[in-house]
Structure formats: C-alpha cells, structure tokens
Structure 1
C-alpha cells in the first residue's frame, strides 16, 4: 500500500529521512541522555568488573586467605550497579518524555503552518495516529540506541576478557558468533518491513474510524451502522495477516537464537573446563569465563531493543512524511496602510489535477460588501480561503492594499482579516472565550456587543451559565453555532471580513437581521461573503459570479438578474417559495 504522501520535492520519504529526524531528537534530549550515558558507563564498568572480582574471591576462599577485602570490593561494585540502574531509569524516563514532547510540539506546529490544501493530504484519523502513536514510538529511540550501544560495549568487553583469560575460550566464543549475527540480521530485516506494513494498516483503520465518528448522525439516520462497521474494519484482514507474519517471524527467530546461544556457551565452558583440568586455569577463572561468556552473549538480550528501534524507524518515517509537506513561508512585512482593497491577480489553484481557480483576476473595492455566487464547484470557497491566505495559490498573488499577502507577517495579517465559517469550531473554553478567540483580552462588553450583532446574545443569556457555559457542552443548534462563529468574526472589527457560507443554517428572519448587520453595522469595512441566497446578493454592493474558477460576470444583483443563467442560480429559492441554501462546494 502506498502512503498518502510518497515523497518530498527531492523524492520519496525513506528511512534516511526518518533517521535524520531521530538524530534531531537526540540533540533535543541531550541533557537527560548525557546523565544516562554517564550512569550506563558506570554500570557497564561495574558489570565487567564483577566476574573478575568474583573469581578472585573464590580463589581466595579456596586458598584459605582472608576474603574481607574482596567482599568489600564486591559490595562496592554492587552498590555502583544499583545506583547507576536507578539513575538510568529516572533519567531515561525524562529522556523519553523530552524527546516525545519535543517531536509532538514540532509536528503540531508544522501541521498548523500547513496551507489548507496540504493539511487535507492526510485523513484526520491518519494524521492523529502519526501525531500520537508514531511520535511516541520515535521518541523512545535515542534512549533505546544508547542502551543498545551500552549493551554492545559490555558484550565486547566480555569477549575481550575471554581472550585475556585464555585465548582458547575467546576463540571458542568467536567461532559461533557469525552464525548468531547472521540470524539476528535476517530477523531484524524481516521484522522491519513487517512493522512498516503493520503501522500503515493501523493508520488506515484509524482514519476510517475517525471519519465514521465524525458522521455518526448521518450513519444512525441512514441505518447504515452495519455497512460502516464493515467499511471501517475492511483493513482488519491485512492487519491480521501482518500481525500473524510478525508472530511467525518472531517465533522463527526466537528458536534459532535460542538454539545457537546455549551451544556457544557450552563450547566456551567446555574449553575452560579442559583448561582447569590441564592446569592452565584456576577454578576461579572458570567462574570468570562463565560470567564473561554470559556478558559476551548479552548483546542478544538487546535484540528486543533493536526491534523497537526498527519499529520506531518506521514510525519516524511516517512522521517525516508529514514534515515533508511544505508549509506556508511566513511573511515579514507589516500590513500596509489602506482602506482594505483586495486584489486577485492571475490566481490559479489546482488540486488533484482540477483547477479550482483558473487565472482569476478580480478587484474587491474597499468598504464594499461583495457577494460571491456560483454553482457548486465554481471555486467560491477556494476564493474565500486565498482571500486571507488560508491557502496559497499555485500561481498568481493576492494583494491587500497593494501588498502581497505572502509578504505580510502572519500575526499582522490575522489582525486585519477575520473569518466566519459554515461549521465553526468553538475553541477557547467557555462561550465568552470562544467569541473572543484570537483576540485575547477582549472585554465581556465587546463580546456581548458582537453577540448581539450576530443575533445570538439572547440565546447565550438563556443558558444557565450564560457566557460562562463551556463551549464543548453548549446545547446549540446549527444556526446558533453559525451565529457564534459570526460573532467571533465581528468582535475582531477587522479591516477585511470573510464569510464562507457562514449563514447557511439561519432561518429567513434571522438571516435578514444578520445581513442587515453586515450591510449597515459593518459599513466602511471590506466584506467578502460566499452567498447562496438571492436576498444576500441583493443587499451586496457588488456581486461576483464565478463559473469553473473564473469570473463569469460581476455587477450589482439588479444588473445581473437580467441574465436567465444568473437567475437559475437561485431557482431553488423561487420554486420553494422560501430561501434554501445550495450545496456547499468542497
């Protein structure tokens, strides 16, 4: 299965990109990793000293000598090992937490800097899976690599000690090493590819589940729960096959490793035992050989750590695919002085081979209420998004009072451009904070004034907690929610206000009141309204008629009404006898 995003500007996102990401995590968590490194070095030194000290103590006992000093040294080494292990656990947890949180913050910031078109390259569930699960796996890699490196150093020290005690024992150990290494390399290689497949399938399943939960009302209303369950669980057979393949690979690798290691240890002990019989080795040295052989084989114990690294590399590659999406390059210049004129010059937006806007040239006069109308798919929502730089055009540019939006600093641009959407998300805590969201420090009086202008103040006041009602649990209808989103735009008193179908759920009377606010209450400010109702277009100073991403005509509603094709845009309203919203283009 291919990933939603296959590559960067230079090609596919590979494990090499993930490895660079993992290296950056190590740099961010260097302080706790440095503590772990020191503690691990102390633990490794103590571990390597233990067999030699134990052998010396045994030889002293057999010789009838005083063992108090040897016992003291053993106690000291054990204390060092215990303390180092404790420090490793504490600092290791801090390293994992630091690396994971740094990666999540970076990824969250990157996602928030994406243009709207790039952000939609991943389904929401897939993006959440990478942000939560994959970052946690990748964040553990620096510590896992450090542990693995320490294990390999300890194993190398054990093998070296075998040669120092008796070159024959070292040679017996090394003779079986190539076979063990070959088994491990084959095992890790096989498991790494399977982990890739497993995580990709998990992401597909998570994306489908998130989509279904987002549309749960439609599912229940349509009685299609069984069908949705089948759709969500469609990747499950792939997940099961990959999971079983992982288990089989682990089982095959496990019994092979479990067969080779005891044979290697038996061979080393047999050579050491013959050395004791021949008088080359002391009895205590036989004990030391047993200990160092165990340390030499300890690198096998780190196969699990190696496997977790292989799994995390897959996770890091998936995170890197999100980082590969280009973010909007922030501008640095201030907002120019001016009344709020918006200019679109040769603006072209292409998505999946389709041109949403096609070389569009348009001038929106300052202080005008401009209504954008057109059939579904004409490019109205896309025009609204590029008007405030929620989306960058592929070609052309949008200017505010003569300055390209791409050159204006993001914070400065957000201060002068406000948005209201068809389905606003209430962020910020309670309803007062949700309305003031993006404009911290706004007083309650200004919030209430904006709510009153949006005809939602009376709705909020009827709630038991009023403006202190938690936004997440506020019992609001679709129209009331839209009015809250409109209040959030009004409280900003921005130079330019963009309404993307922000009144589609309002009843006729409320919509007329809100339109009166847009016409009279915001006079002098530039307003761009994606409109589906003739009454909204009729109150506008200028109507822009879009067709296939181009301006078909523009003028006043009265002027355009003479065209039968223009009248057909509002045919639903005429035939039903009431205003009805047209489908929202997506």
Structure 2
C-alpha cells in the first residue's frame, strides 16, 4: 500500500490529496513553474521594453538597441510557451498515474470490505475523477503564479505613475467579489456534475453485468432509459458550470473595460501634464489589461475547482476500510479452524464451531442461513462483528497477510480468472505456481482434458477460452489446488459440476489433498455425505455437528436439501 495511506489512520481529506498529487508532478512541476514564471516575467517586462522603444523612436535616436530587449523577450516567451505545454502535460500525467495507483491499490486491499459502492461508479472515479485530481500540479501552479501577473503589472504602474495605479486599485475590490462568487458557484457545479456522472456510470455497470437477463427479457430500451435518466440533470449542472464561467467572463469584461478606461483617462491627464511619456501611456494600457484581465486567473481557479472535486471523489473512495494484518507467521499445525462466539452481519449469532485439522466439514443450511458468510470469515475475507476465528490457535488478525493468504485457499461458485493464459489463471496466487503444480492441480480438478482441447491448450488466452459454468468451476478448483496451504475453503465450488465429476473431485480432495483441512459449503446431500462431518447451520448457530448419515434421521435436516431430500 502507498506510504501516504499507511501513515494515516483517519480518512484522507480532499485538500491533503490535492497537495500530495501536486507534489507528485515531480520535476515536471518544477519545469512548469519556471516556464510560467518566465511567461509572467515577459508579460510584465515587455510593456516597459516597448515603451522604451516607442520613446526612442519619437526622440529620433537609434531604435535598434531599444528593440533588442523586445526581441529577447519574444524569444523567451516562445520558449516558455513550449515548456508550459510539455510541463503541464507531463506533470498532470504523473499525478494522475499516482492517484489511480492509489485508488486501485486501496480498493483491492479493501477487498470485499470496500462497501456497497457500485463497480461502475468506482471505475468512473478511478478514470474521470483521478484525471481531474491529476490536474492538481497544473491547477496549483497556474492559480498561484497567475496572481503574480496582476501584482507585477500593478508594481510597474506604480513605477510609471502612482496616480494611475491608485485609480485602477480603487476598482479591484469589485473584481475580488466577482472571483469569490465564481469560485463558490463553480465548486458546487463541478461537484454535482461529478456525482451525477458517477450515478450514470454505476447504472451502466449494473446493466452490462446483467446484459443476458436484459436481452432475454427484451427490456433493453427500458434499461437504456434507466441508465440515462439522469442525463437532463447532468446537462443542467453542465449548463450551470458554463453559465458561471460565462457570467464571470461577461461581468469581468465590463468591469475590466471600465477600469481600463479610468486608468487611461488618468494616464492621459498625466501625459498632458508631462509626467509620463507617450511610450509609458502605451505601457499603461497594457498593464491595465494585465491587472484586470481575469482570463488566466479564472482558468486557474476552474482547474483548481475540478482538481479539488476530483480529489474529493477519490478521498471518498479511499475511505474504504482496509483490514490490518499482524506480523505472525502461521505456527506448525494440521490446520485446525475454530470459530468462537462469532457474530456477523446480523446473521451469525454467537456461533461456535471447530473444524478438526486435516478433516473435511460440510456446512449446510437453508438459503440465507449465512453459509457463504461463514466461508468468508474462515479465511478473513470478512471480519466478524464479535468473537474470533483462529487457525491452529492463532487469531487470524494476528497473522501477516502473506502467511494468511499462503495458508488459506479458496474456490468459489463463480470464479473470476486472472492472467493472460489458462496456465496463468490456474497458477494465479501469492506466488505463481510451477508448471508441474499447474498440471497436477488441473488433473485433480478434472480440468486437464478440456483444457488440452482448447486451441492452444494451457497457453490459450483466457479471453479466447469460452467455458461452461462447470468448466469455469473446475479451473477455480485447480487454482485452489495449485498452491500449498493447510486450509481449503470451497464456497459452493462444485455446484455446476455433474454428479460424476463432483465425485471425482471429492475423491481428489480426500486423497491428494486429504492432509488439508477442508471447509465445504454444500447444497447437495451427496456433497454432505462425502464429508467427514456436517455442520448444520440454523438460526445463526450450529444446530448440530455430526455425520451426514446420523443427521439424516432428522426431518428438519432432510428439509435443508429440498422436499425430496436430495
């Protein structure tokens, strides 16, 4: 995890993230700052150089020496402009990459504990939100240095004639009020725009996840309307943003023109009185434009507002709790798993269960009894609200992350495959499995035959390997088998297998993997019958623990498997 998060026990705040992202611009941020400073210096110095050249011409002196500073400033301005583009793009890219790494790392570290944030909205925050937050280096530098331009121009006006500067300064409070109102309006509009954008992304993610259901129901048009129902609201917030920007531009233009006219009128009187030269009058016109010109300031504030809004989105994402792990290694032991007084999710209520090391225990119960929750607690994919879970006498939170993930393997009912090829998908884990272990695991999961029939066998890209639900489950089992450990948790991992294949897998579990402790979430009576023990989960607790054959005499137990008892 990024050290920025490791040092913080409290949620990351938006402005803290903005500052950190700005610093991540690195050397390119320095290049951008220097280029922007050079650009401001040119804008402040050029009117003085031009004034000197004009007065030189009017005095009939040699104009060439007076034009050399103007030419040098032109060249500096061109170089600064090129560096501005390069520095801004590079600094924003570095900062955006850092923010995205931070978000992805935090979400994956949080795992199932990331909360109910829809996947589509999370993806939107990682892409669009992080991109806006990544403009922090540009926004911070542009906003800060943009203020130097009117300050420098005002200083130059004071040097030319303090009366002209005073006349212009009297109108600056009006500009300050306009800027404050602009910041308030823009910040709210950007935040609301991003919120609605995230809502649309979340709904689109839901619709894509259920594409088959939507197609089968013939409701694609209705779903499209549901996904895009927030578009008018998004449009309204976008229009509000443009209205704020346009209104600021219009009001700023009127106020700026009035102040420039005032400054030029005062300068005209000063020229008539012989206190300033014609060239200085030209300079006054340019400096007055720099003082009241709000374009660079407005642009910087708008970027800063977007950066802060994007960072706020990211900060909310970073609030996902990340489980803290201990430093202990797993002690020697057979893999004894123990639940003591576990309460969780309002479903498990003071549950006690001991899974003997090296034995298989099938967990059965009605739908909603908490079987999958129990499986998640067994390997700390979730933490109990109360009570504790121990592996060979050690509470799971005391184990280091590598030790926990090394000792506990999972297979799920709908496994997700990661890796470029099928071989990579089976070997995916804390440490990549060797080719020999991949082959042995695939054989034990009865996946070897169909994998070899794929176009390139184990080298077939996962995206080019269409698989049935049963084949997918077999690869998930193979992945769990491919890594050493003392505890295997099978969360309904054989539900899509035919009876014969399930029996073969059960034989492998009892034979090749018989030294591992196996916690099996079961829905079939046959699966429960092949386990050493059955834990009957009912009412949030273990109602009975025993052999399937002994429990079968209880009608309530038979009802768990359906009306026909199978």
Query: TM over 0.5, yes or no?
Result: yes
**Partner Cα distance (2:249, 2:29) in 1:** 31
- State whether structure 2 residue 83 is matched by structure 1 residue 87: yes
The CA deviation at 1:68 is: 2.1
The CA deviation at 1:440 is: 4.3
- State whether structure 2 residue 33 is matched by structure 1 residue 42: no
Matching residue of 1:135: 130
Matching residue of 2:186: 191
Q: 1:66 aligns with which of 62, 67, 71?
A: 62
Q: 1:522 aligns with which of 513, 516, 533?
A: 513
Farther off after superposition, 258-267 or 459-468: 258-267
Q: 1:289 aligns with which of 284, 290, 300?
A: 284
- State whether structure 2 residue 443 is matched by structure 1 residue 447: no
Query: Deviation string for 1:256-305 (max 9, x for gaps)?
Result: 22221111112212221222122111001011111211221234432022
1:100–1:416: structure 2 CA closer, same or farther, 3 Å change rule?
Answer: same
- Unaligned 5+ segments in structure 1 are 1-7, 580-586
- State whether structure 2 residue 330 is matched by structure 1 residue 339: no
- State whether structure 2 residue 176 is matched by structure 1 residue 181: yes
Give the SS at the match of 2:154: helix
**Partner Cα distance (2:407, 2:384) in 1:** 20
The CA deviation at 1:28 is: 2.7
Matching residue of 1:145: 140
Matching residue of 1:480: 471
Aligned ranges 1:328-477 → 2 under 5 Å: 328-350=323-345, 355-438=346-429, 440-477=431-468
**Partner Cα distance (2:219, 2:64) in 1:** 79
**Partner Cα distance (1:201, 1:435) in 2:** 40
Give the SS at the match of 1:571: coil
Contact 2:347 2:369 in 1 (8 A): yes
Farther off after superposition, 440-449 or 103-112: 440-449
**Partner Cα distance (1:115, 1:190) in 2:** 37
The CA deviation at 1:439 is: 5.2
Farther off after superposition, 103-112 or 506-515: 506-515
1:151–1:439: structure 2 CA closer, same or farther, 3 Å change rule?
Answer: closer
- State whether structure 2 residue 255 is matched by structure 1 residue 255: no
- Unaligned 5+ segments in structure 2 are 1-7
1:203–1:172: structure 2 CA closer, same or farther, 3 Å change rule?
Answer: same
Q: 1:29 aligns with which of 25, 28, 31?
A: 25
For this pair of structures, how many residues does the alignment match?
559
| TM value normalised by structure 1 | 0.92
Matching residue of 1:505: 496
Farther off after superposition, 555-564 or 305-314: 305-314
Contact 1:115 1:392 in 2 (8 A): no
The CA deviation at 1:9 is: 9.5
The CA deviation at 1:364 is: 0.8
Q: 1:156 aligns with which of 136, 148, 151?
A: 151
- State whether structure 2 residue 259 is matched by structure 1 residue 268: no
Contact 1:426 1:471 in 2 (8 A): yes
Give the SS at the match of 1:343: strand
The CA deviation at 1:347 is: 1.8
Query: Deviation string for 1:338-370 (max 9, x for gaps)?
Result: 1101111122222xxxx1322222111000111
**Partner Cα distance (1:267, 1:132) in 2:** 48
Give the SS at the match of 1:521: coil
**Partner Cα distance (1:529, 1:407) in 2:** 24
Contact 2:23 2:137 in 1 (8 A): no
Matching residue of 2:223: 228
Give the SS at the match of 1:346: strand
Contact 2:524 2:561 in 1 (8 A): yes
Query: Deviation string for 1:311-341 (max 9, x for gaps)?
Result: 2212211111111222111221111111101
1:62–1:458: structure 2 CA closer, same or farther, 3 Å change rule?
Answer: same
Give the SS at the match of 2:441: helix
1:321–1:441: structure 2 CA closer, same or farther, 3 Å change rule?
Answer: closer
Contact 1:426 1:472 in 2 (8 A): no
Give the SS at the match of 1:551: strand
Contact 1:544 1:551 in 2 (8 A): yes
Matching residue of 1:583: none
Q: 1:552 aligns with which of 543, 550, 557?
A: 543
The CA deviation at 1:556 is: 1.0
Contact 2:106 2:318 in 1 (8 A): yes
The CA deviation at 1:455 is: 1.0
1:573–1:103: structure 2 CA closer, same or farther, 3 Å change rule?
Answer: farther
Contact 2:143 2:304 in 1 (8 A): no
Q: 1:17 aligns with which of 2, 13, 32?
A: 13
Query: Deviation string for 1:488-538 (max 9, x for gaps)?
Result: 001113211111111111122222222222222311210111110000000
**Partner Cα distance (2:283, 2:322) in 1:** 59
Matching residue of 2:562: 571
Q: 2:205 aligns with which of 201, 210, 213?
A: 210
Give the SS at the match of 2:388: strand
Farther off after superposition, 215-224 or 564-573: 564-573
Matching residue of 1:584: none
| TM value normalised by structure 2 | 0.95
1:165–1:142: structure 2 CA closer, same or farther, 3 Å change rule?
Answer: same
The CA deviation at 1:174 is: 1.3
Give the SS at the match of 2:362: strand
Matching residue of 1:240: 235
**Partner Cα distance (2:432, 2:277) in 1:** 81
**Partner Cα distance (1:27, 1:144) in 2:** 12
**Partner Cα distance (1:120, 1:512) in 2:** 37
